[in-house]
């Protein structure tokens, strides 16, 4: 297997220009959308079947009473433990040789299990063809030696694409540099393979806690609850069965006495 490819997004360098969002739409031939009111300059509240790359605008109150903008270009995380891939019953969602998570439109049956299994709300359903949609890291470009369109279009190198271990090392140095400049809350999200979901192949440098960026602090896969739910269902079924058996035996005993 080839070395794992990944994407590192340094939110401290994001200027909110949306060049990445435009490049994503252009390369993937995604349709236009009417902007929705979000209370900020963000043009969509969440990912859609026509928005694979979403620039978030977050206004945060500082201890000094001032307001500051936190900007983040968000995307599919291509998780090492991918809920969408585990939930897909047809094999439409699969792991590429580069470690990324791709989606074969021809094999998708539109069941939407992947939509409900993504802890980040990335996967969306397209009612037109009746299939799921999400970022593929521009897999067609990767196969031809090109990087994702969003990373190519970013004017500040906020979005960087390359081999995962190289990007993690670079990201760690960047965090140390920011902390040295007094940015105490600088942190990496999803870079540690020992952390949640086995690590993310699209990881981020954040300047505040994850929830500020509408990211779960500790994302979990819905499938992790399947065993518990199944045991509860089995237990309920056993109780119902015992109740029916006792009722049947009671009727039998009553009939014998008559």
Confidence of residue 220 (pLDDT cuts 50, 70, 90): very high
**Parallel/antiparallel/unpaired status of strands 202-206 and 5-10:** parallel
Mean pLDDT computed over every residue of the chain = 89
Q: Summarize the confidence of residues 120-143 as an average pLDDT.
A: 96
| 20-23: long-range pairs with CB below 8 Å, 24+ | 20/53, 20/55, 20/73, 20/149, 20/150, 20/151, 20/153, 20/154, 20/159, 21/51, 21/53, 21/54, 21/55, 21/73, 21/150, 22/153, 23/149, 23/150, 23/152, 23/153
Q: How far apart are CA 152 and CA 150, in angstroms?
A: 5
Please state the domain extents for the chain.
5-220, 223-257
pLDDT, tens digit, 9 for 90 and up, residues 26-71: 999 999 999 888 888 999 999 999 999 999 999 998 888 889 999 9
Angle formed at CA 113 by CA 117 and CA 76, multiple of 5 degrees: 50
Please determine, for residue 236, whether its predicted confidence score (pLDDT) is greater than 60: no
Percent of the chain having pLDDT more than 70?
Answer: 86
Length of the chain: 258
State residue 252's pLDDT score.
55
203 SS3 class: strand
State residue 232's pLDDT score.
41
Q: Summarize the confidence of residues 90-102 as an average pLDDT.
A: 97
Q: How far apart are CA 25 and CA 32, in angstroms?
A: 8
pTM of the model: 0.84
Question: 156-160, 200-204, 232-236, 249-253 — which is least confidently predicted?
Answer: 232-236
| Domain covering 5-220 in this structure, CATH number | 3.30.70.20
Beta-bridge partners for 137: none
């Amino acid at each position: 297997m080839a070395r794992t490819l990944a994407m590192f997004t340094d939110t401290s360098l994001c200027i909110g220009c949306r060049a990445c969002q435009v490049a994503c739409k252009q390369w993937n031939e995604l349709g236009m959308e009417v902007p929705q009111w979000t209370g900020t300059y963000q043009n969509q509240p969440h990912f859609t079947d026509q928005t694979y790359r979403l620039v978030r605008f977050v206004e945060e109150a500082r201890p000094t009473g001032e307001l500051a903008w936190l900007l983040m270009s968000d995307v599919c995380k291509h998780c090492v433990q991918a809920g969408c891939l585990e939930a897909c019953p047809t094999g439409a969602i699969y792991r590429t040789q580069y470690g990324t998570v791709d989606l074969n439109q021809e094999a998708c049956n539109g069941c939407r299990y992947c939509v409900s299994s993504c802890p980040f709300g990335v996967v969306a359903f397209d009612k037109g063809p009746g299939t799921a949609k999400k970022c593929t890291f521009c897999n067609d470009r990767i196969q031809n030696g090109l990087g994702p369109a969003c990373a190519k279009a970013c004017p500040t190198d906020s979005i960087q694409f390359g081999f995962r271990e190289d990007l993690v090392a670079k990201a760690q140095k960047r965090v140390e540099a920011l902390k040295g400049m007094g940015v105490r809350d600088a942190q990496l999200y999803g870079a540690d393979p020992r952390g949640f979901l086995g690590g993310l192949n699209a990881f981020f440098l954040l300047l505040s806690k994850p929830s500020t960026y509408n990211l779960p602090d500790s994302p979990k896969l819905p499938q992790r609850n399947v065993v518990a739910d199944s045991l509860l269902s089995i237990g309920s079924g056993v109780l119902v069965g015992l109740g029916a058996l006792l009722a049947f035996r009671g009727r039998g005993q009553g009939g014998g006495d008559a």
